[in-house]
Structure 1
Amino acid sequence: MTSTHALAVALVVVLGTAPAASSAASSAPTERVPTVFLGDGTVGGYGIAPVDESRLSCVRAQENLPDVIEDQLADQSILLDITADVSCAGAELRHVWEQQELGGDVAPAPPQKRVLTKQTQLVVAGLGAHTLGLGRILKQCSAKLRGTEGSLLPDGPVDTASKPADCAAYFAKGAGADWLTKRFEQVDKDLEKLFSEIGSESPSAKAVLVGYPRLVPKDVKRCRTVLPGGAGRPLADVPESAWPFLDQKVQARLNSLMAKRAKTAGAVFVDLYAATGAATACDGDARTTGGLLEPSAVTLLHQRHPWFLHPNETGRDTNGDTTAQAIATGVFGRGPA
């Protein structure tokens, strides 16, 4: 996400969604594997300092998810040649084939697919939450996000006339339900196009789709506890009535759609939602996701960026471990490290 973009809010342990590895792929490659990373701020490490100064407009961390994946695979003698990491905070699926506007006088980010080549052998992508409109959904449910505290989160609520306290009911029927249905239809369409673009640009590449870590735990009572350091509750002022909705009707539904599309495309799906339920933003010192309005370590343009529910350093590392093992298993036929 750019300095004006956030959240992103990018999901195997292979869930049996990947086809069986071929005998040719069952051993470690003898040469480095040309690899490209596509994605949003969850891949890019939004909120993690220090920020890569050459990628300030995308708020990309110097050490992000691709770095962890590379290191973990190297421990299994699977060596990546990361030819490009074009993850950018706020990126939607369409920004794989369209340029991404970054706001102000900042030049747009070119379509992410420009880095795909015929030589690319592995493509790891983490996108979908921004296409769904997760930021707009959160603003629909939060008065604080509708104010200055949400200025770095792009777009506004879906319907300013509907109160944040009523957001779960708003999305359950009528205009809100119709809007959400259309957003899921767009995600489905764009995921199909994502895999088509990868196949067209890099026909020899194996695709890996990384899902998103879980935001609301099954035991929602854990989200009532104040964050360490007194930064408020993990989900800020989002009403408790909306917590199950955000989990089951938004995130679990997105996770299932991503898994389905990956399976159809013959890609590996990394189910971070299933792997992270025990350490969400609602788990105190053990949290792997920064709280909704919890200050992150990143300050740009004299503004302290909130986490907006992105993985923190611990989350980056654990998500990277999970993704690396999914790649080792689903792409290279390796068992657990």
Structure 2
Amino acid sequence: MKTPVVRGLAAAAVALGSCLTLAGPAASAGAAPAAPVPTVFFGDSYTANYGIAPVNHEGSERFFCFQAKDNYPAVATRRLADKGVTLDVQSDVSCGGALTHHFWEKQELPFGLGELPPQQDALKYDTQLAVGSMGGNTVGFNRILKQCSAKLRGDDGVLLPGTPVDEDVPAAKCREFFASGDGKEWLDDRFERAGWDLEELLERIAYFSPDAKRVLVGYPRLVPADTNKCLTPAPGQTELPLADIPKDALPFLDQVQKRLDDVMKKAVADAGADFVDLYAHASANTACDGANRGIGGLLEPSQVELLGRKLPWYLHPNERGRDIQAKQVADKVEQVLNR
């Protein structure tokens, strides 16, 4: 939870940043900054764009962040440059598997391969823009998927972090498990934790980088309103987009996404930050939209190989989805910098 000290320091830093901004030269209304904008990207696998090859940091422990060389931060940076908005990217510390608290705590890498410093260490006093996606792992979406899929509880899910919430409850009954009792209590607790942690993250950015515009990026929609679309494999695939997750659980997965979106929007509104609502812009590009899908199917082979085996997408954006992320992020950043 946030401490009064951190909250107070963050508020003071925001005030100081405002004073410094007011004291500086007035920016031209409606024009993006001419000078490069010192920028830090942070986040989890949706910022790193797990599943898209090639991957950064090959040969180092950071390879296991599965950060794509052309992730949405890289593509959005190029899009902005084409519009005359130059980002001076100080660092992109996004890493697959990151929970929100890994913004201020070390992150252990899989297979005991070491640990990474807190993502906040990338922030500098002169950082003017901080952008990224966090919250999905804190809610435990990976654990929810394993609760609802028997296949993910076996070899198919060995590379997806986390365990089912309750292995004694069959995957076929996951919808009822989360609707009441221990399952509902667990889920409510995770959403509460996600809200606290996102508030803490935004406050810490304000403390370490007082002048930084803070942009929290939401998650793209995974499941369509018409779940019947999920009963047909995508072109060239034999597995269903959501594999063996029961059909009655699909609307529940969508509700989890909507609820996370609401938690993120509240944290952003309370902090005076900005939000990129990817869910609202991806309704025609879910995992179940066939050739138009912007999300790789749960067990569909991705572009990334490990030990000669292609890793599953595990419902992460493919290149089409990455480009949707990049466009929405670039548009929001341009808007924010032009204020």
Q: TM-score, normalised by structure 2?
A: 0.89
CA distance in 2, matches of 1:272, 1:230: 26
1:191 aligns with 2:198: yes
Aligned equivalent of 2:272:
266
Distance 1:268 1:280 in 2: 24
Equivalent pair of 1:48/1:61 in contact (CA under 8 Å): yes
Q: Following TM superposition, by how much is the alpha carbon of 1:231 offset from its aligned partner in structure 2, in angstroms?
A: 3.6
2: CA distance, partners of 1:57 / 1:86: 12
Partner in structure 2 of residue 176 of structure 1: 183
Q: CA deviation at 1:75?
A: 2.1
2:269 counterpart letter in structure 1: K
Instruction: Check if 1:291 corresponds to 2:297.
Output: yes
1:144 aligned counterpart, secondary structure:
coil
Q: Is the 8 A contact 1:268 1:331 kept in 2?
A: no
Query: 3-state SS of the aligned residue for 1:114?
Result: helix
Change (3 A) 1:81 1:222: same
Residues 71-220 of structure 1 aligned to structure 2 (within 5 Å): 71-220=78-227
Give the whole-Å Cα distance in 2 for the aligned partners of 1:289 and 1:283.
9
- Would you say 1:31 and 2:35 are equivalent positions? yes
Deviations 1:174-215 (A, max 9, x none): 000000000001000100100111011101100000000001
Structure with greater helix share of residues:
2
Residue 51 of structure 2 contacts residue 302 of structure 2 at CA under 8 Å; is this kept in 1? yes
CA drift at 1:104 = 2.8
Q: 1:328 is matched with which residue?
A: 334
Aligned to 1:17: none
Q: Which amino acid aligns with 2:138?
A: T
Which one-letter code corresponds to 2:149 in the other structure? S
Tell me which amino acid in the other structure corresponds to 2:45.
G
Match of 2:83, SS state, is coil
| Local SS of the residue matching 2:214 | strand
1:324 is aligned with what amino acid? A
Cα shift at 1:302: 3.3
Counterpart among 43, 46, 58 of residue 47 in structure 2: 43
Q: CA deviation at 1:105?
A: 4.0
Which range is displaced more, 270-279 or 224-233? 224-233
**What fraction of aligned residue pairs are identical, expressed as a percent?**
52
Query: Could you tell me how far apart the structure 2 residues matched to 1:104 and 1:168 are?
Result: 31
Structure 2: how far apart are the matches of 1:271 and 1:232?
29
Which SS does the other structure have where 1:203 is aligned?
coil
Aligned amino acid, residue 189 of structure 1 = W
Deviation of the 1:323 alpha carbon:
1.0
Segment drifting more, 299-308 vs 159-168: 299-308
Instruction: Give the aligned partner of residue 224 of structure 1.
Output: 231
Which residue number corresponds to residue 316 of structure 1?
Answer: 322
Determine the C-alpha separation between the residues in 2 that align with 1:86 and 1:243. Answer: 32
Consecutive unaligned residues in structure 1, runs of 5 or more: 1-21
What letter is aligned with 1:40? D
- Work out whether residues 67 and 96 of structure 2, in 8 Å CA contact, stay in contact via their aligned partners in 1: yes
Which deviations, in whole Å up to 9, do the C-alpha atoms of 1:22-59 show, x marking residues without a partner? 97373211210000000111111100011121541211
Q: Deviations for 1:52-91, whole angstroms, at most 9, x for unmatched residues?
A: 2154121111111111110111122111000100000010
Q: For 2:286, which of 271, 280, 291 is the aligned residue?
A: 280
Does the CA-based 8 Å contact 2:32-2:337 persist in structure 1?
no
Give the aligned residue type for 1:292.
L
Identify the residue that residue 243 of structure 1 maps to in structure 2: 250
Larger mean CA deviation between 225-234 and 236-245 belongs to 225-234
SS of the residue 1:158 aligns to: coil
Which amino acid in structure 2 is aligned with residue 36 of structure 1?
Answer: V
Distance in 1 (alpha carbons) for counterparts of 2:150 and 2:221: 23
Q: Greater CA deviation, 138-147 or 224-233?
A: 224-233
Tell me the alpha carbon deviations over residues 261-312 of structure 1, each in whole angstroms, 9 at most, x when there is no partner: 1111111100000000111110111110100010101112333210000000
Whether the 8 Å contact between 1:128 and 1:187 is mirrored in structure 2 is yes
Could you tell me how far apart the structure 2 residues matched to 1:157 and 1:98 are?
A: 24
In 2, Cα distance between equivalents of 1:301 and 1:102 = 17
Could you tell me which amino acid in structure 2 is paired with residue 44 of structure 1? A
What is the distance in 2 between the residues matched to 1:228 and 1:90?
A: 29
Distance 2:30 2:113 in 1: 45
| CA contact 2:286–2:294 (8 Å) conserved in 1 | yes
Quick check: 1:268–1:327 contact (8 Å CA) kept in 2?
no
